């Protein structure tokens, strides 16, 4: 009886607030077929284990059912949000310099992430309120094992009003999955590609893969995927010289290349000098193509679109830093850990995941939380002078929980809802961008200090060095990665290396081979090391992104054995760095090798660990 009364009061209060919001939005009436289908809230194929939404209705239809567009998705600036971006994973198979911090990111425990059913449930709720476009993002969506099945199930929402099902991908592993995805309902595709040069691609992405992306573009065009957009983040003195090469790509390919102003995210070492403005990019293109002309943009477009007359494709500019498009923003974001993020650059979030996992959750309660978050969306994000100093997620973790956003039902809404004790997520009780918000991850676990009684394993009770007996240890897969940085006294040294102009030859290739050779001789060089059957050695030497005088050396060693390969990784890394020193000392006697350390170790009794963002070792799930 009490529960029924609370529901009735909730419904009446929702009517009053919805009616007031309807007045605020000025009676905007863009009809969505989905809004009229709120009766059937549960999508038949979707079922959350051990719970389902209890859809409560009053004898009279709710005002939200009668309105042409949901007041819950309309903010206080009359913007109607019809576009939902859902991050379905925080993992990625690249390590792009502008997206992921150099030291990687700490992954959430699996139980903190949205399940497939929760993703589908959230999508269904938003489509039911008028969302017509859903975009799947990450991380990298294609690393998710059930990506094809997820797209197929989301595709069924077209029967309830969904019109566009899109995906943003780096294209590395997409080509072979694309036919099934298109068949399952994928309608739009954005591919990330920042350079057409193989060496520069490896430098920016910290991985190889350019050929796979180009193949993916051809596959998408062959399947008739339109529009096909290519997103390119432009960074001064890194890839800005390729702007005209991308424009030339549109001559024969019906693609839209979109140049994105370099944006600040946590860990990407952003500074204003690296950013190339939209106006400067435009001037460069117009100097080469005087007939370069503006194309009429669609409503809510994020990019300013141009074309070269006679070319098959188009060029777009995403100007988040110098000329924001906040006034027409119709986007909301769901992070992979279930947080609703109303602005890409905002740091205020609220967890829908925790709401979904409440045993007594109803659609009305979920919509109230969504509506309150949307109402708090600012008219526009902070300006360029403030964005660079604001704390925000790394770009890769616009699908991850970076702050303590676990829903706490500790703060009650001091309004008409108090009568029935409706609880408000703590994220909605603070104004965005205030110091009261905490951005520490609540569930990362740093490596504890060693126990007081722990002893060195290579020293016996008499204090003499001895070789540890590993005969009784379990044979497992072992991986270790070591890293160091070579700093030159002049940018000229790095220029000579990258142009292969030194008298001794190809420095990076020679150092790579030297690192591999040294790894295999570790037991001969380090007295107490075991002779290990190494299965793989990978040595990379790449210029540090944004620097003109540094090269990063990384050595990863794998084996299946009874002891770890940390020493092998360190020896390989150090010998590769010393080889660079040897080959460059004639032109740079003051260069130095710094920061030699193990940054990641997997397998063995001590478990998996790696170097965290603050330089401390953390036990966590691996990226």
- Residues identified as active-site: 582
Size of the chain in residues: 623
Asked if 24 contacts 132 with a C-beta cutoff of 8 angstroms, the reply is no
First CA to last CA distance, the chain = 50
Alpha-carbon span 486 to 596, nearest angstrom: 10
User: Which of 488, 547, 611 shows the shortest CA–CA distance to 203?
Assistant: 547
Torsion angles phi and psi, residue 305, rounded to 5: -100, 135
Alpha-carbon span 452 to 449, nearest angstrom: 9
* 3-state DSSP of 570-596: HHHHHHHHHHHHHHHCCCCCCCEEEEE
Beta pairing, strands 228-234 & 256-261? parallel
Alpha-carbon span 205 to 302, nearest angstrom: 24
Positive or negative, the CA dihedral 276, 280, 284, 290 is: positive
DSSP 237: T
51: Cα within 13 Å, side-chain hemisphere: 13
Angle at CA 480, nearest 5°, toward 479 and 486? 150
In the numeric block, the tokens 């943003």 are attached to 168
Tell me how far CA of residue 612 lies from CA of 106, 258, 540, 609, in angstroms: 7, 33, 21, 9
In the numeric block, the tokens 């994000």 are attached to 381
Give the three-state DSSP class for 136: strand
Asked if 34 contacts 132 with a C-beta cutoff of 8 angstroms, the reply is yes
Tell me how far CA of residue 235 lies from CA of 88, 209, 305, in angstroms: 27, 20, 20
Chain mean position to CA 445: 21
The full DSSP string for 377-399 is --SS---HHHHTTS----GGGTT
> Cα Rg for the chain, rounded, in angstroms?
27
The full DSSP string for 335-371 is -TTSEEES-TT---EEEHHHHHTSTT--HHHHHHHHH
* Helices marked H in 198-327: 198-205, 210-222, 243-249, 278-288
Asked if 575 contacts 581 with a C-beta cutoff of 8 angstroms, the reply is no
Q: Is 26 exposed, middle or buried (0-12, 13-18, 19+ CB in 10 A)?
A: exposed
Q: Which tokens hold the place of 619?
A: 């036990």
Beta pairing, strands 303-307 & 314-318? antiparallel
Q: Which tokens hold the place of 278?
A: 């939209």
Quick one: angle between helices 491-498 and 566-584, nearest 10?
Answer: 100
DSSP 465: B
Quick one: angle between helices 147-155 and 116-128, nearest 10?
Answer: 20
Asked if 84 contacts 131 with a C-beta cutoff of 8 angstroms, the reply is yes
Q: Which tokens hold the place of 219?
A: 């596959």
């Amino acid at each position: 009886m009490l529960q029924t009364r609370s529901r009735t009061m909730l419904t009446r209060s929702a009517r009053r607030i919805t009616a007031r919001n309807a007045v605020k939005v000025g009676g905007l009436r863009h009809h969505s077929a989905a809004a009229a289908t709120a009766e059937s809230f549960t999508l038949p194929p979707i079922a959350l284990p051990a719970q389902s939404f209890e859809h409560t209705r009053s004898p009279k239809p709710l005002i939200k059912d009668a309105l042409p567009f949901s007041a819950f998705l309309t903010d206080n600036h009359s913007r109607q949000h019809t576009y939902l971006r859902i991050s379905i994973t925080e993992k990625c198979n690249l390590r792009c310099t502008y997206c992921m911090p150099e030291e990687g990111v700490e992954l959430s425990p699996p139980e903190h992430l949205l399940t497939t059913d929760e993703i589908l449930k959230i999508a269904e709720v938003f489509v039911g309120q008028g969302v017509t476009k859903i975009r799947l993002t990450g991380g990298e969506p294609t690393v998710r094992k059930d990506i094809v099945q997820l797209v197929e199930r989301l595709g069924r929402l077209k029967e309830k009003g969904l019109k566009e099902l899109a995906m943003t991908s780096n294209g590395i592993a997409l080509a072979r999955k694309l036919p099934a995805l298109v068949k399952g309902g994928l309608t739009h595709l954005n591919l990330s590609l920042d350079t057409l040069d193989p060496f520069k691609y490896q430098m920016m992405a910290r991985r190889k893969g350019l050929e796979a992306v180009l193949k993916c573009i051809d596959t998408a065009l062959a399947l008739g995927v339109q529009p096909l957009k290519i997103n390119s983040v432009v960074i001064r003195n890194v890839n800005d010289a390729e702007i005209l090469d991308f424009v030339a790509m549109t001559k024969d390919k019906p693609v839209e290349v979109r140049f994105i102003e370099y944006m600040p995210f946590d860990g990407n070492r952003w500074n204003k000098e690296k950013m190339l403005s939209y106006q400067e990019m435009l001037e460069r293109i117009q100097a080469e193509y005087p007939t370069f002309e503006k194309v009429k943009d669609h409503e809510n477009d994020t990019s300013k679109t141009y074309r070269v007359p006679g070319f098959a494709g188009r060029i777009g500019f995403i100007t988040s830093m110098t000329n924001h498009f906040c006034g027409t923003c119709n986007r909301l974001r769901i992070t992979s850990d279930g947080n609703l993020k109303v602005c890409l650059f905002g740091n205020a979030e609220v967890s829908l995941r925790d709401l979904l996992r409440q045993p007594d959750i109803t659609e009305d309660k979920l919509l109230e939380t969504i509506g309150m978050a949307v109402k708090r969306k600012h008219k526009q994000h902070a300006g360029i002078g403030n964005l660079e100093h604001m704390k925000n997620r790394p770009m890769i973790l616009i699908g991850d929980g970076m702050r303590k956003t676990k829903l706490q039902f500790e703060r009650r809404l001091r309004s008409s809802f108090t009568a029935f004790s409706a609880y408000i997520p703590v994220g909605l009780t603070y104004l965005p961008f205030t110091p009261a918000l905490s951005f520490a991850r609540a569930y990362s676990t740093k490596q504890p200090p060693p126990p007081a009684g722990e002893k060195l394993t290579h020293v016996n009770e008499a204090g003499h060095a001895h070789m540890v007996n590993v005969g009784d240890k379990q044979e497992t897969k072992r991986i270790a990665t070591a890293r160091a940085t070579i700093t030159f006294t002049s940018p000229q040294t790095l220029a000579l290396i990258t142009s292969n102009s030194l008298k001794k030859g190809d420095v990076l290739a020679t150092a790579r081979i030297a690192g591999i050779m040294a790894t295999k001789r570790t037991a001969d060089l380090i007295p107490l090391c075991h002779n290990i059957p190494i299965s793989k050695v990978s040595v990379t030497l790449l210029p540090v992104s944004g620097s003109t005088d540094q090269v990063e050396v990384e050595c990863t060693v794998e084996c299946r054995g009874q002891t770890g390969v940390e020493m092998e990784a360190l020896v390989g890394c150090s010998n590769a760095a010393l080889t660079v020193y040897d080959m460059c000392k004639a032109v740079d006697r003051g260069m130095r090798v710094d920061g030699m350390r193990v940054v990641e170790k997997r397998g063995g009794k001590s478990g998996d660990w790696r170097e965290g963002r603050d330089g401390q070792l953390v036990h966590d799930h691996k990226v």
